[in-house]
Amino acid sequence: MEEKIALVTGASRGIGSQIAKTLAKKNIFVVVNYSGSKEKAEQTAEEIINAGGKAVVYGCDISDFYATEDMVKEIVKQYGRLDILINNAGITKDNLIMRMSEADFDRVIEVNLKGAFNTIHAAARQMIRQKSGKIASVSGVLGNAGQANYAAAKAGIIGLTKTIAREFAGRNIQVNAVAPGFIETDMTEKLSDTIREQATQQIPMKKFGHPEDVAEAVAFLTSDAASYITGQV
Ligand code: NAP
């Protein structure tokens, strides 16, 4: 069987780094994408390689349409295929809406929503050519005070997922999203104690999850076992 190739965006840290490691353990060759944290991306790849897996790093700001297109073209040129795309890269720029600047609204949409469009747009051509592919995006379903930009982008990811799933269903490409709730990463490290306490109270298990909890779900959705699941969150 040909080796599968996965692109994980924002795999230098947090959930993306763990998704990359989990996929690599399943004998998938992983492209570890990052935008600013080169050393951390290299660390993720090194951990994968030391554990017997295969990985390379690729720096690219996924909000840049043409840079993203070039990254995907380069992957296909180097490795001949692209089987799995994980849209994980994301940022927060929280503020109550009356204090949220236009720039902070736009940047979160650019990275968290447009970034997913950019990668899907770039990867789809190759997946259609291969007559197979799996796309998974890390999403969110709850609105949180101070996150108008983030919640709008994540709701957009759900619409994008459901639409692309229908467009690609006949091409043997499955498209799903994972909405993991609160997970211990650099992103949630920034939350105030009050917000953290309020969030914890709403979680049935009364604790935040860990990147490992999300990575296995993503790995399942991008495996052959999930070939009849598409357009789901
Ligand atoms: P994190 O620890 O802050 O990591 C974010 C990752 O995204 C980093 O690897 C970062 O890479 C990358 N990234 C940011 N902007 C990028 C860009 N323009 N181009 C390429 N990569 C970029 O966040 P996380 O908690 O792991 O979150 C990962 C995803 O899960 C995000 O989409 C987030 O919205 C979603 N999510 C998280 C939670 C949670 O509770 N943590 C809950 C629901 C959903 P660099 O450092 O190299 O820039």
Give per-residue pLDDT as tens, 50-65.
Answer: 999 999 999 999 999 9
Cα(227) to centroid(ligand 1), Å: 26
- What's the rounded Cα separation, in Å, for the pair 3 and 10? 22
Which of 37, 60, 138, 207 is the best mutation target for the ligand 1 pocket, counting ligand atoms within 8 Å of the beta carbon and taking the most? 138
Instruction: Please report the pLDDT score of residue 101 as a whole number.
Output: 98
Q: What are phi and psi of 188, to 5 degrees?
A: -90, -15
Please work out whether the CB of residue 12 comes within 6 Å of at least one atom of ligand 1: yes
- pLDDT tens for each residue of 78-106: 999 999 999 999 999 999 999 999 999 99
Q: Which of 114, 141, 147, 187 to mutate to test the pocket of ligand 1 (most atoms within 8 A of CB)?
A: 187
- In this prediction, residue 105 carries a pLDDT of 98
The pLDDT of residue 183: 97
* pLDDT of amino acid 144: 85
Half-sphere exposure of 81 (CA within 13 A, CB side): 17
E-state strands within 64-165: 84-87, 133-138
Cα-to-centroid distance, 138 and ligand 1 (Å): 9
Ligand 1 near 15 CB (within 6 A):
yes
What tokens were used for 25?
């353990």
State if residue 36 touches ligand 1 by the CB under 6 angstroms criterion.
yes
Residue to mutate, 17, 34, 154, 160, ligand 1, most ligand atoms under 8 Å from C-beta:
34
Across the chain, mean pLDDT equals 96
DSSP state of 131: T
Report the pLDDT value the prediction gives residue 143, as an integer from 0 to 100.
83
Cβ 197 under 6 angstroms from ligand 1: no
pLDDT for residue 141: 87
Interval between CA 110 and ligand 1 midpoint (Å): 13
Q: Which residue has the tokens 């104690």?
A: 193
CB of residue 89 inside a 6 A radius of ligand 1: yes
Residues belonging to the active site: 150
Which one, of 190, 185, 192, 183, lies nearest residue 217 by Cα? 183
Nearest CA to ligand 1 atom 23: 187
For the stretch 106-112, contacts whose Cβ atoms lie closer than 8 Å and that sit 24 or more positions apart, written own/partner, are 107/63, 107/149, 108/149, 108/150, 108/153, 109/149, 109/152, 109/153, 109/156, 110/63, 111/62, 111/63, 111/153, 112/150, 112/153, 112/154, 112/156, 112/157
- What is the residue-level pLDDT of the chain in tens, covering all 233 positions? 578 999 999 999 999 999 999 999 999 999 999 999 999 999 999 999 999 999 999 999 999 999 999 999 999 999 999 999 999 999 999 999 999 999 999 999 999 999 999 999 999 999 999 999 999 999 988 888 899 999 999 999 999 999 999 999 999 999 999 999 999 999 999 988 998 999 999 999 999 999 999 999 999 999 999 999 999 99
